[in-house]
């Protein structure tokens, strides 16, 4: 690791001001990506501003048909939260299969979506549920937030404060775990809104990161059942290919995981 | 057996320190004035080192020195050696290129050390390493065996034209040809044994400490065999004469073979310590471990088996290309030859066998012995072959095996090995019963109705362990004898220290070796301690690998124990005024049989050391040593059967059941044996389903971290169902065969046989990843 200066911020405003003072600052949430990358000397920020102890970034709120998860809430706290389990059990399930116990105790929802790893689980949930990302400056719709591999709509120094999810009629998530990293080799989140709309998002599959799957959305809108997806064809064009999965395999997984997510949806 | 004697499930003595964080590993050791080494490694698979400019680095804070390969050459430090000479079929010796500890001119794999920075801290050394400017001229590289032997392929070493190290044969080719000419059926098989990275939990580490006044070196290192390390460092690398070099291998966190060898980093640390006049420490990180720890396996094989009209095997023909990587590691040459082809008879009567093995250089990390070493490759080949044959001949795979089992012992195979004892039907029967083999078709049908593909796979392995009779291995080209030594010291107060040349790095010797003493003397194991891993304490030893420590190392301890007991009985008889022949040892006492006269061990020991009243002419003291050289290999064998379900939608394999019936001869501690089997099975399953060290066509490693290299985790493996059938090994007095490698040797074939049974297609390479299985299911 290169030398760096560590700051523990006590408020969002203080974090933003500390960030602005550094020549090459980075925010630290759960550290599940930033710290390994720093240890490998692939990143060498001048200043690291820890958001993990900021009280206003912690916790879950359920208000009417909106579930709000504050940005620095850990996966473990999300997974075990009664409101999450009751309002959107698919999110509780997603966090229960995310990484391993050590990752779940440290990693946060804000850190995951800010990093926007193309195989991360949470971006699929945000996109399929039509969530809104709240920052210290504005609100950003999930459709606008994710902009490609490790790229988001966040501006330099902008801090995610929370994510708001409209509570769906039904939602489900299934993923094939990457055999080595346990990220999603391909994961699919399906959601049926209370107005009857259907949104489906796949992670781990596309070369451009998390994506909607319109063909499956159309099929499910017509008939919300696993068998409705049988006749859908998913093209392998533009899908990721690596030693653990060809593009054709990932195309197949989008279908199979979508079917299983529908079957599991509650 | 007593409560702590042979056969008792004694809890491991060493675990208290391991599970409370009190283990003392090399990286835990801090010496006064210690400096830290950081190696600068080649990013290229093949390149000329044109220029190294360390001027900027030398000016950086905390930098003590920057040393290069040329300085190593100037100081006449020897090249790394390969300790087993193999002769090609044309009579020529194997063709080896030089392997300097740091490359002065040419790098031949990604990760090869080029220079080293010595600094006040590891981080400062790493900072300075980034300031060292190395000018490389890239050369074409080759990573694949078949590409490496093609005309026009990039050449690694001028000494080895065509990148061929040797073309070695074993067996009677004429007899095999004759067998095939009269065959009713011939079964053919092509397969790859995938390259693995060993990944012990503790990465390698070394601390070298040079004492200029005494001209003496101390090396703390992660070694499975510290005495062999000292021998090689002294005799071949000119580091120091043996009496001026102490090698200590303290607690070592796993090895699986990868810590047998002498690596460049230890040599450089020793040399650098003398050059800078301070202790030098190096600890590998996980990426360095992937790049530099010797890899395992990596065979490409074509095999053919001939059967008569009654499905009796007539002959076996095998041609294997073994990838050695860029340099010949310490025992690498023996692995695909004498540890592989000699096991190609398996558990079967095969009248004629011929094997040809071509060793090939590629621009990859060197390959050497990894848990099982050659024997997993032989077992995988044979058991895939038997399964393939059963499918082709349309007979039950278990029945085909039974029909061809060796049942008469001793049995001389056509490939050197003489099996001493075994009962292959007993282990297969036990495994079939444990998994309800007869009930499988009904279970398969039910799974099919639920949309699942269910399969069952058998693997009957045999291995040669207890490595090994010195004369025999010497005649086959080994550079060392493979006996073991022991010393038993009874202290004046009756406690006992056992010094052994074996080394424990996870095997539990501190418990099992004490159990022998408890068995013999009836003393609690708390009164016994095991001393190992220090060349200043233990005179000599050959270390731990090849499932040898119980069969060879413990037998050496037994031999020394017998001498101690003999002397102690004389002392007891003298003290008790009885005949030596009437003395029996029970519960820590020496008793006159049939009387109530007895003297406890501490009193015998005290008498030996006070020497006030010893038998006439007897030397004082109670300490004996022994060397034990085995008369034959031992032959652990067994049957593994696994039942799997494959998800046709994802290609993912799940275990329904995995049963193992092993014959290890006598078990010292069944709990530790079970642990060894569990670990071995997991590594075998890891090879079958998950693990693969991959290089791209340019020799760049693709799997140099756990993000890409899939290690088995607890949820990847089933709860194992273990049992034992026992035939005692006649080759050693304890009847021990060894258990350390069996799981890794036998498991992978059982898994692949089960998956191919489930999906109804026989061609499937390891690792059977979900993607690969899914593509195989849906292939035209």
Phi (first) and psi of residue B626, to 5 degrees:
-155, 150
CATH of the domain at B501: 3.30.365.10
Mean pLDDT (chain B, rounded): 96
- Asked if residue A91 and residue A66 are part of one domain, the reply reads yes
Q: Are residues B703 and B753 in the same domain?
A: yes
Q: What is the rounded distance in angstroms from the CA atom of residue B431 to the CA atom of residue B339?
A: 26
State the total domains in chain B.
3
Same domain, B651 and B571: no
Question: What is the ipTM for the molecules in this complex?
Answer: 0.95
CA distance A155 to chain B (A): 29
- For residue A184, the distance in angstroms to the closest alpha carbon of chain B comes to 12
- Is there a contact between B643 and B443 (Cβ–Cβ < 8 Å)? yes
Instruction: Provide the CA B493 distance to its chain's centre, in angstroms.
Output: 38
| Residue B519 lies inside a defined structural domain of this protein | yes
Asked if B95 has any chain A CB less than 8 Å from its own CB, the reply is no
| Residues whose CB is less than 8 angstroms from the CB of residue B355 and which lie 6 or more positions away in sequence, other chains included | B169, B170, B171, B318, B319, B320, B340, B341, B344, B415
Spatial distance between the Cα atoms of B430 and B240, rounded to a whole number of angstroms:
54
Q: Are A266 and A89 a contacting pair, CB within 8 Å?
A: yes
Q: How far is A117 from chain B (nearest CA, A)?
A: 13
Closest chain A residue to B123 measured between Cα atoms?
A1
- Domain of residue B581 covers 15-20+483-628
Cβ contact B488:B540 at 8 Å = no
Note whether B645 and B613 are same-domain residues. Answer: no
Q: Same domain, yes or no, for B460 and B546?
A: no
Question: Would you call B412 helix, strand, or coil by DSSP?
Answer: strand
Mark yes or no for CB contact A246/B775 under 8 Å: yes
Question: Would strands A25-28 and A47-50 be described as parallel, antiparallel, or unpaired?
Answer: parallel
Whether omega for the bond prior to residue B207 falls within 30 degrees of 0, making it cis, is: no
pLDDT reported for residue B468: 86
Are A180 and B771 in contact (CB < 8 Å)?
no
Q: Quote the strand ranges of A146-264, DSSP E.
A: 160-166, 170-177, 184-192, 198-203, 211-212
Do A43 and A110 share a domain, yes or no? no
Categorize the per-residue pLDDT at A65 as very low, low, confident or very high, splitting at 50, 70 and 90: very high
Q: Do A244 and B769 touch (CB under 8 A)?
A: yes
Mutate to test the interface with A, among B649, B768, B771 (most CBs of A within 10 A): B771
**Are B771 and A41 an interchain contact pair (Cβ–Cβ within 8 Å)?**
no
Residues B620 and B647 in one domain: no
In total, how many domains does chain A have?
Answer: 2
Contact A256 B650 (CB under 8 A): yes
Q: Does A15 share its domain with A127?
A: no
Distance from CA of B510 to the nearest CA of A (A): 32
Q: Is the pLDDT of residue A29 over 70?
A: yes
Task: Calculate mean pLDDT across residues A116-124.
Answer: 96
Indicate the residue of B126, B694, B711 with minimum beta-carbon distance to A243.
B694
- Quick check: B41 contacting A, CB < 8 Å? no
Which of residues B236, B271, B292 is at a domain's end? B292
The string over B129-139, giving b where at least 16 C-beta atoms fall within 10 Å of a residue's C-beta and e elsewhere, is: bebbebebeeb
Residue A22's CATH number: 3.30.43.10
Look at residue B194 and tell me if it is in a domain: no
Domain identity same for B533 and B623: yes
H or E stretch including B755?
helix B742-759
The neighbour count for residue A256, using CB atoms within 10 Å, is 22
H/E stretch holding A157? none
Q: Are residues A122 and A217 in the same domain?
A: yes
Surface-to-core class of residue B118, CB atoms within 10 Å of its CB (0-12 exposed, 13-18 middle, 19+ buried): buried
**What CATH number does the domain containing A84 carry?**
3.30.465.10
Distance in angstroms (rounded) separating the CA atoms of residues B467 and B482: 6
Contact: A176, B650; criterion CB under 8 Å: yes
Q: Do B710 and A180 touch (CB under 8 A)?
A: yes
CB contact under 8 A, B774 and A244: no
Is B126–A41 a contact, with Cβ atoms under 8 angstroms apart? yes
Shortest CA gap A161–chain B (Å): 29
Whether residues A20 and A117 fall in one domain: no
Report chain A residues whose CB lies below 8 A from the CB of B703: 180, 243
Q: CA of B454 to nearest chain A CA: how many angstroms apart?
A: 19
The answer for residues whose C-beta is within 8 angstroms of residue A159's C-beta and 6 or more apart is A12, A15, A16, A19, A27, A51, A71, A135, A136
A69/A163 same-domain check: yes
CA B405 remoteness from chain centre: 27
- From residue B667, give the alpha-carbon distance in Å to each of B513, B550, B664: 12, 9, 7
Q: Are residues B608 and B642 in the same domain?
A: no
- B606 part of a folded domain: yes
Print the SS3 string covering A61-112. EEECCEEEEECCCEHHHHHCCHHHHHHCHHHHHHHHCCCCHHHHHHCEHHHH
Residues B82 and B213 in one domain: yes
Q: Based on the fold, state whether residues A140 and A80 are members of the same structural domain.
A: yes
Do A186 and A250 meet the contact criterion of CB atoms below 8 Å apart?
yes
Long-range contacts of range B655-658, CB-CB < 8 Å, 24 or more positions apart?
B655/B717, B655/B718, B656/B443, B656/B454, B656/B718, B657/B435, B657/B718, B657/B721, B658/B717, B658/B718, B658/B720, B658/B721, B658/B750
**Between β-strands B280-283 and B106-107, what pairing exists: parallel, antiparallel or unpaired?**
unpaired
**What does the pLDDT read at residue B405?**
98
**Phi then psi for B217, rounded to 5 degrees?**
-105, 145
Per CB-CB distance under 8 Å, the chain B contacts of A180 are 690, 703, 706-711
CB contact under 8 A, B770 and A181: no
Span A233-257, average pLDDT? 97
Q: Which of B594, B628, B662 is the endpoint of a domain?
A: B628
User: Which of B650, B711, B717 is the best substitution to test chain A (most A C-beta atoms within 10 A)?
Assistant: B650
B711–A176 C-beta distance less than 8 A: no
Residue B35 pairs with which residues in a beta bridge?
Answer: B280
- Look up the CATH number of the domain holding residue B125: 3.90.1170.50
Residue B8 maps to a domain: no
For chain B, what's the residue count? 780
Burial of B682 (0-12, 13-18, 19+ CB in 10 A): buried
Give yes or no for a contact between B316 and B305, defined as CB atoms under 8 angstroms apart. yes
B621, B708: one domain:
no
* CA closest to A99 among chain B residues: B707
What is the rounded distance in angstroms from the CA atom of residue B610 to the CA atom of residue B48? 68
Is the pLDDT confidence value at A38 over 90? yes
Claim to verify: residue A18 and residue A67 sit in the same structural domain: no
Give the Cα separation of B180 and B169 in Å (integer).
Answer: 18
Read off the tokens for B540.
């000599």
How many other CB atoms sit within 10 Å of the CB of residue A49? 24
Residues B127 and B268 placed together within one structural domain of the fold: yes
Chain B nearest-CA residue for A245: B771
Please report whether residue B227 resides in a domain: yes
Q: Give the whole-angstrom CA distance, residue B448 versus residue B446.
A: 5
Q: Which of B127, B702, B775 comes nearest A243 by C-beta?
A: B702
> Looking at residue A41, what DSSP letter applies?
T
CB atoms B710 and A179 under 8 Å:
yes
**Is the pLDDT score of A12 beyond 90?**
yes
Both A67 and A171 in one domain: the answer is: yes
* Beta carbons within 10 angstroms of residue B382's beta carbon: 28
| Six token digits for residue A50 | 């820890």
User: Does the N-terminal peptide bond of residue B576 adopt cis geometry, omega within 30 degrees of 0?
Assistant: no
Domain range for A10 is 5-50
Residues 750-769 of B with CB under 8 A from A: 769
- First CA to last CA across chain B, in angstroms? 60
Asked whether the beta carbons of residue B707 and residue A249 sit closer than 8 angstroms, the reply is no
Q: Which residue of B has its CA nearest to A186?
A: B650
Q: Is residue B649 part of a domain?
A: yes
B587/B682 same-domain check: no
Give the strand order in the sheet containing A5-8. Answer: A5-8, A47-50, A25-28
CB neighbourhood size of B450 (10 A): 8
Mind listing the pLDDT tens digit for each residue in A173-218? 999 999 999 999 999 999 999 999 999 999 999 999 999 999 999 9
Percent of chain A's residues with pLDDT above 90: 100
Containing H/E element for B221? strand B216-221
Structure token digits, residue B40:
């600068």
Low-confidence residues of chain B: pLDDT under 50: none
Tokens of B607: 């008498």
Residues A112 and A240 in one domain: yes
Q: Are residues A143 and A239 in the same domain?
A: yes
Q: What is the pLDDT of residue B238?
A: 84
**pLDDT one-digit tens code per residue, B155-194:** 999 999 999 999 999 999 999 999 999 999 999 999 999 9
Question: Residue A179 is nearest to which of B126, B127, B769, comparing CB atoms?
Answer: B769
**Which residues of chain B neighbour A259 with C-beta distances below 8 Å?**
649
Q: Are residues B555 and B658 in the same domain?
A: no
Q: Do B769 and A1 touch (CB under 8 A)?
A: no
What is the number of alpha carbons within 13 Å of residue B213 lying toward its C-beta? 0
* Displacement of CA B485 from its chain's centroid (Å): 20
Q: What does the pLDDT look like over B263-279, one tens digit per residue? A: 999 999 999 999 999 99
Assess if residue B62 is contained within a domain.
yes
> Do A142 and A25 have their domain in common?
no
Distance CA B625, CA B560 (A): 5
Q: Give a yes or no: residue B501 inside a domain.
A: yes
pLDDT at residue B479 in the model = 85
């Amino acid at each position: 690791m290169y030398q760096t200066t560590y700051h523990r911020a006590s408020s969002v405003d203080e974090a933003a001001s500390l960030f602005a003072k550094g020549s090459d600052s980075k925010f630290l949430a759960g550290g599940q990506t930033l710290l390994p990358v720093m240890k490998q000397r692939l990143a060498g920020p001048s200043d690291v501003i820890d958001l993990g102890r900021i009280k206003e970034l912690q916790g879950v709120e359920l208000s009417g048909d909106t579930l709000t998860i504050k940005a620095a809430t850990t996966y473990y706290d999300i997974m075990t939260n009664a409101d999450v389990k009751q309002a959107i059990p698919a999110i509780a399930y997603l966090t229960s299969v995310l990484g391993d116990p050590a990752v779940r105790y440290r990693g946060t929802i804000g850190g995951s979506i800010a990093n926007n790893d193309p195989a991360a689980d949470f971006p699929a949930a945000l996109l399929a549920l039509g969530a809104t990302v709240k920052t210290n400056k504005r609100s950003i719709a999930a459709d606008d937030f994710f902009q490609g591999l490790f790229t988001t709509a966040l501006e330099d120094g902008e801090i995610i404060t929370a994510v708001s999810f409209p509570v769906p009629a039904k939602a489900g998530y299934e993923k094939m775990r990457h055999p080595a990293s346990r990220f999603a080799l391909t994961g699919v989140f399906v959601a049926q809104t209370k107005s009857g709309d259907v949104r489906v998002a796949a992670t781990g599959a596309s070369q451009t990161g998390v994506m909607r799957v319109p063909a499956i959305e159309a099929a499910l809108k017509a008939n919300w059942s696993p068998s409705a997806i049988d006749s859908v064809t998913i093209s392998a064009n533009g899908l990721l290919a690596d030693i653990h999965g060809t593009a054709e395999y990932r195309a197949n997984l989008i279908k199979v995981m979508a079917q299983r997510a529908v079957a599991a949806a509650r | 057996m007593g409560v702590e004697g042979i056969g008792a499930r004694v809890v491991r003595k060493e675990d208290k320190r391991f599970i409370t964080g009190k283990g003392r590993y090399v990286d835990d050791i801090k010496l006064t004035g210690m400096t830290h080494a950081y190696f600068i490694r080649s990013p290229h698979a093949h390149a000329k080192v044109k220029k190294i400019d360390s001027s900027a680095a030398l000016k950086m804070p905390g930098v003590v020195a920057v040393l290069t390969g040329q300085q190593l050459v100037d100081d006449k430090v020897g090249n790394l050696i390969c300790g087993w000479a193999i002769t090609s079929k044309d009579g020529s010796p194997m063709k080896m290129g030089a392997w300097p500890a740091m490359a002065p001119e040419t790098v031949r794999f990604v990760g090869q050390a080029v220079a080293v920075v010595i600094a006040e801290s590891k981080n400062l050394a790493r900072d300075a390493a980034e300031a060292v400017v190395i000018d490389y001229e890239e050369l074409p590289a080759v990573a694949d065996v078949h590409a490496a032997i093609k005309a026009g392929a990039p050449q690694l070493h001028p000494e080895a034209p065509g990148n061929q190290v040797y073309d070695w044969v074993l067996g009677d080719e004429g007899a095999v040809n004759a067998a095939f000419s009269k065959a009713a059926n011939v079964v053919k098989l092509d397969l790859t044994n995938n390259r693995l990275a060993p990944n012990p939990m503790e990465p390698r580490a070394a601390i070298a400490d040079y004492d200029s006044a005494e001209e003496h070196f101390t090396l703390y290192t992660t070694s499975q065999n510290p005495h062999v390390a000292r021998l090689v460092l002294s005799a071949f690398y000119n580091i120091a004469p043996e009496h001026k070099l102490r090698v200590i291998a303290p607690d070592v966190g796993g090895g699986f073979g990868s810590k047998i060898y002498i690596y460049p980093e230890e040599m450089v640390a020793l040399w650098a310590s003398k050059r800078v006049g301070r202790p030098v420490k190096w600890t590998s990180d996980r990426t360095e471990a992937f790049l530099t720890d010797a890899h395992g396996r990596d065979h490409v094989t074509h095999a053919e088996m001939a059967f008569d009209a009654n499905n009796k095997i007539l002959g076996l023909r095998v041609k294997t290309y073994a990838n050695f990587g860029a340099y010949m590691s310490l025992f690498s040459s023996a692995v695909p030859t004498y540890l592989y082809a000699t096991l190609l008879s398996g558990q079967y009567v095969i009248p004629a066998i011929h094997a040809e093995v071509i060793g090939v250089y590629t621009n990859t990390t060197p390959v050497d012995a990894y848990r099982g070493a050659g024997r997993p490759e032989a077992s995988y080949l044979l058991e895939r072959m038997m399964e393939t044959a059963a499918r082709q001949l349309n007979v039950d795979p278990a029945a085909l095996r039974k029909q061809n089992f060796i049942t008469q012992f001793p049995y001389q195979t056509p490939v050197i090995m003489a099996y001493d004892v075994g009962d292959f039907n007993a282990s297969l029967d036990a495994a079939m019963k444990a998994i309800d083999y007869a009930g499988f078709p009904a279970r398969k049908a039910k799974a099919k109705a639920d949309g699942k593909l269910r399969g069952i796979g058998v693997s009957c392995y045999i291995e040669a362990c207890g490595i090994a009779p010195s004369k025999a291995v010497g005649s086959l080209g080994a550079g060392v004898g493979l006996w073991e030594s022991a010393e038993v010291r009874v202290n004046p107060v009756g406690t006992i220290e056992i010094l052994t040349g074996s080394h424990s790095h996870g095997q539990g010797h501190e418990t099992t070796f004490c159990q022998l003493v408890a068995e013999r003397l009836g003393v609690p194991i708390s009164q016994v301690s095991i001393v190992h891993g220090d060349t200043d304490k233990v005179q000599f030893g050959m270390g731990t690998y090849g499932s040898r420590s119980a069969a060879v190392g413990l037998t050496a301890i037994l031999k020394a124990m017998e001498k101690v007991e003999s002397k102690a009985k004389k002392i007891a008889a003298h003290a008790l005024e009885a005949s030596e022949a009437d003395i029996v040892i029970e519960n820590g006492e020496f008793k006159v049989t049939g009387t109530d006269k007895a003297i406890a061990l501490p009193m015998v020991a005290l008498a030996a050391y006070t020497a006030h009243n010893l038998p006439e002419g007897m030397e004082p003291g109670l300490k004996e040593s022994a060397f034990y050289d085995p008369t034959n290999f031992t032959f652990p064998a067994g049957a593994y059967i696994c039942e799997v379900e494959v998800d046709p939608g994802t290609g993912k394999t799940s275990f329904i059941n995995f049963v193992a019936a092993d014959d290890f001869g006598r078990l010292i501690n069944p709990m530790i044996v079970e642990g060894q089997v569990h670990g071995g099975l997991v590594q075998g399953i890891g090879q079958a389903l998950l693990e693969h060290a991959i290089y791209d066509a340019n020799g760049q490693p693709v799997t140099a971290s756990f993000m890409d290299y899939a290690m088995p985790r607890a949820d990847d493996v089933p709860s194992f169902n273990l049992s034992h059938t026992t035939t005692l090994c006649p080759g050693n007095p304890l009847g021990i065969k060894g258990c350390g490698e069996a799981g890794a040797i036998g498991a992978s074939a059982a898994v692949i046989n089960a998956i191919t049974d489930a999906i109804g297609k026989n061609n499937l390479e390891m690792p059977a990843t979900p993607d690969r299985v899914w593509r195989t299911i849906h292939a035209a």
